[in-house]
Structures are given as structure tokens and as C-alpha cells.
Structure 1
Amino acid sequence: MEFALLNGEIIERSEAKVDVEDRGYQFGDGVYEVIRIYNGKMFTIDEHLKRFVKSADSIGISIPFTSLQLLEMLEELLIKNKLETGNIYMQVTRGISPRNHLFPTGNVEPTLVAYTIKGVRPLDSLKSGVKAILTEDLRWLRCDIKSLNLLGNLLAKQKASEEGCFEAIQHRGQDVTEGSSSNIFIVKDGSVITHESNNLILKGITKDVILELCTKNNIQVQERTFSLAELEEAEEVFLSSTTAEVMPIIEIDGKKIRAGVPGPINKKLQELFEKEIEKQCGLLVDKV
């Protein structure tokens, strides 16, 4: 039996249902988080909760629980579902209200949902690398909000899949922004470069961990916009996300990067990232 969290109560997942007039369903009026689980423990949970609250605040949703209460409920959910490796998906919407583009007035309580997903680390891809395509970034201008409105991301990811690739690298004109579900990094002259955290990209939790690891280990870092030309000429390219960790990109639009093998800085960061996981969540049985 699996369990889910619905508005502060942990119930059987099959019973966790929301109304058809929930604004998340009708308008995508809400925000979400995905939290990685290793050895039954939540990785970078404080950072995820802070971003969750910040995203909700950005669209005027007041989460009806404190961060400590959310943490306690998620921990209980993990224990109930006996999850060792996988993810927690959590979202909050503005609540249930008759369909109207305007925010509802009166006492409308937000809807909070969370559930667990089993899943192993993508070790084969982490070792060998993945392929990507380029696509124009057609999304709105508040990508820093982890909104439920993901249609642009879905279309990009689907296009990549149909072309036999793992990810779509998005760009606005000549400037690279981010992947459809990841942040993008290049290595140039030994320096790790990634888009600055502004409204055009999501401020990735894994991205921030990588940048901190670079700083602590004397790997040069630049947070700035980089161009398609720089991407094409990069010594290494990799992506990061909660579920993909530090993933090498070895081919873009059919052109191989580094003859199609992961680079040394990418491998070093994978090693450092695994140590950070072990620091927070305990020893990993399988490693890259």
C-alpha cells in the first residue's frame, strides 16, 4: 500500500484526489518541487523547501504550513512508503474555486499534495553521457518560478525524445538559457560557465551545489550568459538536475563533444557530488 500527503493528512494514495475546479488543474495556478531521496533521506531538503515557499510567494500563494511542518510531514511520508531511493513530488495550488481568471476572493484554502516515486540513479547515463538537441526557448519570462505551467518545457523535451535525445538545450536568439528540465554548463579554458540565476532560468538546487563544490575545490566558475557559438566550441558540456545529478552531454544536434566521451571536469564534479550526497544521506552502494 502506498500513501500520499493531501492538505496535511497522510492517506492511501488511491484516495488522494482533488476537485475538478482546483486551480492547479484548470490554470496551472500553483508551484511544485521534486526532492531526491538517497538511503531513505532527503537531499538538500532545506534548499528545496526555501525555493518552494519562494515560488509560492512569487505568485501570491500562502502555504498553510510552516517549513518545519512540511519537513515533518514529508519525513513521515517517506517512512510510511518505506522509500530508499527515488523522489518526492510536492505541489501547492491556489485551491478550489469556480473557474475565473481572477484570483478567488474569500476563504479559499490552497491545496497541498505530495507523493513518493521509486527510482534508481541513472548510473549508465552518468558514466557514458547523453545526447541533446538545440531548440528555441519559447517559454514565459518568469522561469525562476517553479510553476506548474510546463507546456513549453514539455514540447521541448518531447522534441528531444523524438530525435533520440535525452535533453533539449534551449536558447533565446544566440543566448543559451537552460534545458527543458535542467541547467546547462559548459567548460571553457578550464572554467565552468553557466547562466546566471535570473528570471530566464530556474535557480537549480543541484546547480547551486555544483557551484559551491567548484568554489571549494579551486575550479574556476563564471555565472554568465554564454552563446551558441561558445556552446559549440566548449571543451565539455554537462547538465544538472535533481534526478539527473551531474550528467555529461556528449553530443548536440549530431555533433560530438570531446569525441563523444565525458570530460575530466565533469567526472571530477560527479565524484565531488557523490561525496556531498554521502555527507548528507550516508554511503552510496553504487557509484559512477
Structure 2
Amino acid sequence: MRTVYLNGSFVPEGDATVSIFDRGLLFADAVYEVCSVLDGRIIDQQAHLARLERSLAEMAIAHDVAATDWASVLATLIERNGLSEGTIYMQVSRGAADRDFLFPAPGTPATVFAFTQPRALVANPMAERGMRIITRPDRRWGRRDIKTVQLLYASMMKMEAKAAGVDDVWLAEGDVITEGTSQNVCIITPQGHLVTRDLGHHILPGVTRLSLIKIARASGITIEERPFTIAEAQGAAEAFVTSASLFVMPVVEIDGLKVGDGLPGIETMALRAAYIDHAREPR
């Protein structure tokens, strides 16, 4: 049985309970982070904790990230669960209070928990075949830059992708792509430029995206942070997504049209290998 972290204690998962009055349950009034673990070490830990702190500030949830000593919590979860490769999920809600649209009184303790999930990150067979994608309208709320637990629409789109026999959905406003259901989106133009959506309220500032941009720039690739259309993506030389659990994952088909030659791109796979090297660097 897994050991999980809940409100200052490490407990067996079967003993971890949260109040039915928790605002994360009643209002999706909570933020979260997902860190990847490779070779027993967390990838880009400081960037994930910084984003968690930013999300909390944007939501005005009173939780001191530094006071929780997340680094120690995460290290303990890795050790107690023997996690070599996988992810750690962290969530902080505004806490438990009788149901009211207004925020609870100041001083209401936040609900804080974390748990591990073992999974294959490097030897993911999808990297060998590439992802097949369909596009759908982006109907999420307007503050996608905050990593909240309001994930119902993303979940519905993942189920729509499954029903369509493809791997995932890219979301679009009009014909302009915002991001994937749980990933940032990138293309490589015929000129060899790497294009990814510019930051703003419309997309999540992905930690993997940030690391990948640094890796690409260091290798001499020109980066363009700007909007791009579905048609531009379909006509790109290569396409891929970035996320904590997928790393850099090639996309070979968008709405039934092949991207490039319909195989994982050479540049994409080189960037994936470079990111894995980055992930394995001693911290």
C-alpha cells in the first residue's frame, strides 16, 4: 500500500481522508502540480514549486510553500514508496468550510496532500509511433495559466479522443491552437524553427516547455513564441507536445492529416533525447 502525504503526516493511502466540505471537492477551489521522477530524482523540482506558489498567489489561497518543506515531503514519498520512475501529484485546496460561494474565514487551514504514481516515462511506446490528434474548441475558463483542478472539460476531451480512436485532443479558439488537454503544443516549421504558443492567460506556463526551450536554444534552434493555426500545424515539418509525464512526445497526425511524413520527426526525437539527458543530470 502506498504511503501518501496529508496535512503534515505520512499515512497509508487507505487511511487518508478529506472532509466532504473541502472546497476542492465542492468548488474545484484548489491548485495542483505534477512532478516527474526519473532514477529516483525529481525533474525540475524548483520550477514546479515556483509554479505552485504562483498558482496559490493567483487564487489567494493561504499556503506557505516554503513552510511545508515540499522538498523533504517529496523526497520522503519517493523513499517510502520506492519510486524510481513515475510522477508525484501535489494538491492544495482552500480548506474545509460549510458550503458558501464566499471564501471561508481567514485562518481556515488549507488541505494539502501528495501521492506517487509509478509509470514508464522514458520507455513510452507512444514515442516510437507518435501521437494522433484531433482538434476541438477550447471551452475552458479564461485563466488557464493557473494550474487549478478544474479539469472536467479536459477529461471530457480525452474521452472524446478515446472514442474517436486517437491519442488526444488539441484545443483551439477559432482556428488558433491554444494547447493540448494536458500538454503544451509545439511545431517545427519547414524552415526548422520551433514554434510554441506565447505565454499568457490562454495557456499553462509548462515547466517542461520552459526546459525544452532552453535546450533547443542551446542547440542553435530558432524559437518563435507566437500563435499558430491548425492548418499551420498540419503543414509543419514536425509537431510534438511537452508535459511532465510525456517529456517531448511526437505528433504524427492532426485531424486525419499526416504531419510531415507521418513518422516521429528527427528533430523532435533529438529534442526528446536531449530532454531525457537533462532530466538525468545530477541535481
**TM-score > 0.5, shorter chain as reference:** yes
CA distance in 1, matches of 2:210, 2:65: 26
C-alpha contact 2:39 2:280 (8 A) present in aligned 1: no
Counterpart in 2 of 1:150? 151
* Residue identity in the other structure for 2:203: I
Aligned to 1:258: 260
Using the TM superposition, give the Cα deviation of residue 120 of structure 1 relative to its aligned residue in structure 2, in angstroms: 1.0
- 1:76 corresponds to: 76
Residue in structure 2 matched with residue 63 of structure 1 by the alignment: 63
Question: How many positions carry a matched residue from both structures?
Answer: 281
Q: Which residue of 2 aligns with 1:276?
A: 278
**Residue number in structure 1 paired with 2:88:** 88
Q: Contact 1:41–1:84 (CA<8 Å) still a contact in 2?
A: yes
1:191 corresponds in structure 2 to 193
Q: Report the counterpart of residue 127 of structure 1 in structure 2.
A: 128
Matches within 5 A, 1:230-269: 230-269=232-271
**Corresponding residue for residue 45 of structure 1:** 45
Q: Percent identity?
A: 32
SS of the residue corresponding to residue 88 of structure 1 reads strand
Q: Kindly state the Cα deviation for residue 259 of structure 1 after the two structures are TM-superposed.
A: 2.5
Q: Residues 43 and 280 of structure 1 are in contact (CA less than 8 Å); yes or no, is this contact kept in structure 2?
A: no
State the SS of the aligned residue for 2:239: strand
Contact kept, 8 Å, 1:157 with 1:167, in 2: the verdict is: yes
CA contact (8 A) 2:234 2:258 kept: no
Note if contact 1:44-1:205 (Cα within 8 Å) is conserved in structure 2: yes
Q: 1:258 and 1:175 mapped to 2: Cα distance?
A: 20
Matches within 5 A, 1:173-184: 173-184=174-185
Provide, for residues 110-138 of structure 1, a one-character-per-residue CA deviation record: whole Å limited to 9, x for no partner.
00010111111252111221101010101
Tell me: CA distance 1:170–1:65, structure 2 relative to 1, closer, same or farther (3 Å): closer
Q: Which residue of 2 aligns with 1:9?
A: 9
> Which contiguous aligned blocks of 4+ residues in structure 1 show a shift greater than 4 angstroms?
none
Q: CA deviation at 1:166?
A: 1.3
SS at match of 1:63: coil
Q: Does the 8 Å CA contact 2:168/2:180 hold for their aligned counterparts?
A: yes
Alpha-carbon distance between aligned partners in 1 of 2:104 and 2:124, rounded to the nearest angstrom: 46
8 Å contact kept, 2:161–2:167: yes
- Alignment counterpart, residue 204 of structure 1, candidates 203, 206, 227: 206
Q: TM-score, normalised by structure 2?
A: 0.96
Aligned with 2:105: secondary structure? Answer: coil
Q: Secondary structure at the match of 2:125?
A: helix
Structure 1 residues 94, 105: closer, same or farther in 2, change over 3 A?
A: same
For the 8 Å contact 1:49–1:67, the answer to whether it is kept is no
In the TM superposition, residue 232 of structure 1 has moved relative to its aligned partner by 2.0
RMSD between aligned alpha carbons?
Answer: 1.3
Superposed displacement of residue 254, structure 1: 1.4
C-alpha distance in 2 between matches for 1:75 and 1:138? 37
Residues 206/66 of structure 1: CA separation in 2 closer, same or farther (3 Å cut): same
Question: Hey, what's the Cα distance between the residues in 2 that align with 1:85 and 1:67?
Answer: 27
* C-alpha distance in structure 2 between counterparts of 1:263 and 1:101, whole Å: 48
Q: 1:65 to 1:212 in 2, by over 3 A?
A: closer
For residues 178 and 246 of structure 1, what CA distance do their matches in structure 2 show?
Answer: 14
Distance 1:271 1:4 in 2: 32
Deviations for 1:26-48, whole angstroms, at most 9, x for unmatched residues? 00001000110111111111000
Structure 1 Cα separation of the partners of residues 233 and 168 of structure 2? 15
- Alpha-carbon distance between aligned partners in 2 of 1:132 and 1:156, rounded to the nearest angstrom: 11
Residue 262 of structure 1 aligns with an amino acid whose one-letter code is: P
**Aligned residue in 1 for 2:217:** 215
Could you say which residue in structure 2 is the equivalent of 1:171?
Answer: 172
- SS where residue 279 of structure 1 aligns? coil
CA contact (8 A) 1:143 1:201 kept: yes
Deviates more, 1:204-213 or 1:153-162: 153-162
Mapped contact 2:49–2:65 kept (Cα < 8 A): no
1:136 aligns with 2:137: yes
TM-score by length of 1: 0.94
Corresponding residue SS for 1:14: helix
| Structure 2 unmatched ranges of 5 or more | none
> In 2, are the aligned partners of 1:64 and 1:110 still within 8 Å (CA)?
no
Q: Deviations over 1:129-170 (max 9, x none)?
A: 110101010111100000011112112111111111111011
Select 2:227's aligned residue among 204, 225, 228. Answer: 225
Residue identity opposite 1:187 in structure 2: I
Per-residue deviation, 1:107: 2.8
